[in-house]
Amino acid sequence: MSCIFCKIIKKGIPAEVVFENEDVIAFKDIKPIAPVHIVIIPKRHIASVVNLKEEDEILMGKLIMTAKKIADDLKISEKGYKLLIRVGRGGGQEVDHIHLHLLSGGNA
Ligand code: 5GP
Ligand code: ZN
């Protein structure tokens, strides 16, 4: 298994996990581009938005609801934040396991 995020899910490589349930895991980005930079991923491997199927609709909603919960926990909801999904190399996606970036502060 070569997917780095699947390795994080299976605790094969360490990450600073900030939230986890049966469907979703969220951890601090290893190279943050903002004071708050969390990566939120489904535990099921889906490479990209391009690969989403109809039945993934609820799971993708769970990613956004997880971002909302983490933002509330971090008390950044009032100030505001950015949610970002990169799609494909042209969109800047480097890790081929679908993920939502939660960014706040700095120039984010
Ligand atoms: P992308 O460019 O694919 O949207 O974002 C991938 C993100 O994953 C990057 O911000 C990168 O810093 C982060 N990342 C890549 N490898 C690791 C890792 O092993 N651990 C953590 N915590 N983040 C990673
Ligand atoms: Zn994966």
User: Whose atoms come closest to the Cα of 17: which ligand?
Assistant: 1
Instruction: Reply yes or no on whether 99 is catalytic.
Output: yes
Mean per-residue pLDDT of the chain:
97
Whether the predicted pLDDT of 108 surpasses 80: no
90 CB under 6 A from ligand 1?
no
pLDDT of residue 107: 79
Measured from the Cα of 15, ligand 1's closest atom is 22
pLDDT of residue 1: 67
Percent of the chain topping pLDDT 70: 99
31 CB under 6 A from ligand 1?
yes
pTM, entire model: 0.97
Q: What is the CATH classification number for the domain harbouring 66?
A: 3.30.428.10
Domain that holds residue 35: 4-104
- Domain count of the fold of the chain: 1
Residue ranges of E strands in 54-106: 82-84, 100-104
Measured from the Cα of 84, ligand 1's closest atom is 4
